[in-house]
Every structure is written in structure tokens, then in C-alpha cells.
Amino acid sequence: MCQINAAALAEFILISYPDKNITPMKLQKLAYYAKAWALVAGRPCIDAAFERWEYGPVNRSIYLSYRDFSKQSIPTPATPSEQQIQGEDAELLKFILDPYVNQSAVALSAMTHKETPWADTPPDQVIPDQVIYAYYSKLSFAKNFQGKKWNEGEYFVLKTNSWYSFTMDMTEEEAENYASYPSYADYLERRKKADENARRFLQKFF
């Protein structure tokens, strides 16, 4: 029996990322990717179905709970429910969501439109779990969950729009140098240094 429902997943995302301008549309896409990669990872079990709507996958329960916010950011829940996601499940979900959370709602929606699960599902129909698993399990990020614990060993980058923008002017061979790192800790350290360098560069002009 799945222990995480749509409401708990949405609340977890809002609490985990309070400063990431999460609108209802962005929340839907983050929740969808959490469900997709949890299927690939084999945990946690998330009881939330997503339908093919015009602007990407949508869970009806989450939609009904947050639709009044329209295009506004959803505030962090003041009093978390008793269904809080904790422990290793929480760590794994953050591992999954961290590469997505800095993307805008529109960018995330565009990403889902390029992917088979949404594209091949008829409008307003539920995107089958087996279709989601079949697609995402073939992507390089899935290697983080194959034959090892997700945060151990070599780390394979999630190739988001940001990754493609970063490697756009590189040769295919050069780009592959940034497709994986010796470990997740090594990746985080390098990303931290890159962010610091970017801030210093911008401070010279602003």
C-alpha cells in the first residue's frame, strides 16, 4: 500500500522549496517528475495519478487544492499535516527534484511536452505508470538507481534545459564530460563553485 498520496507530495514540495516561486502549474510538474522518477527508483510509493492536460501532466486532487492561486506563488503551509514525508524517502525526493526546481513552470511544461508519456496519451486520460516507467528508465539519470544506492557511486546528471544550454556550444564529446561525475557529492561541490564564480562575474557589472 502506497504511503504517499498527492496531498502529502504537494505539501512536501512546498515545504522543501519555500523560495522557488512554486505556482500551481509548477507544482504539478514537480509532483509529476517526483512520481516518474520514484517509479524508476522503486521507491517511495506515490499514490497519485496524472492526466494529460493541455499544459502538461496534472493530478486532479492537487489541481482542486491549489487552483485558486492561479499564476501566483503558493505560500509554504503554516501547519504541516501529519502525513509528512521524512527520512530516506524525503532525501530521495529532493535528489530527484533538485535538478528541476530552478526551472520555470513554462519550461517544465515544455519539457513534458517533448516526452513520450504526455505526448502519446490521449487528452484528459491518465498517463499509465508502465508508460512513465518505460520512458524514464531509459534516460541517463535512471543510471543513478540501477544496481546501486541513488546517492552512492557515479552520479549521472539530469539533462534539463539548463544542461543543454550550458553544453550548447560544445562538441558531443566535450558535453559528455559534464554528463556524469565521480559522485553526487563531487557534483554538488562543483556546482557550488560554479554558482559562486557566476555571482562574482555578475557583481563586476551590477
pLDDT class of 206 with cuts at 50, 70, 90: low
- Which position has the grid cell 554538488? 188
Whole-Å CA distances, 145 to 37, 38, 46, 86, 134: 9, 10, 17, 20, 14
pLDDT tens-digit readout, 15-32? 999 999 999 999 999 999
DSSP, res 180 = E
DSSP codes joined into one string, 24-87: HHHHHHHHHHHHHHHHHHT-S-EE---EEETTEEE-HHHHHHHGGGTTSPPPPPSS--TT---H
At a CB cut-off of 8 Å and minimum separation 6, what does 85 contact? 4, 8, 9, 12, 44, 93
What rounded mean pLDDT belongs to the chain? 91
Q: What are the φ/ψ torsions at residue 48 (nearest 5 degrees)? A: -155, 115
Question: Which of 88, 121, 126 shows the shortest CA–CA distance to 6?
Answer: 126
User: Span 91-115, mean pLDDT?
Assistant: 96
> Per mean pLDDT, which of 42-51, 162-171, 194-203 is the most reliable?
42-51
pLDDT tens-digit readout, 129-142? 999 999 999 999 99
The 3-state DSSP class for residue 101 equals: coil
pLDDT class of 81 with cuts at 50, 70, 90: confident
pLDDT class of 204 with cuts at 50, 70, 90: low
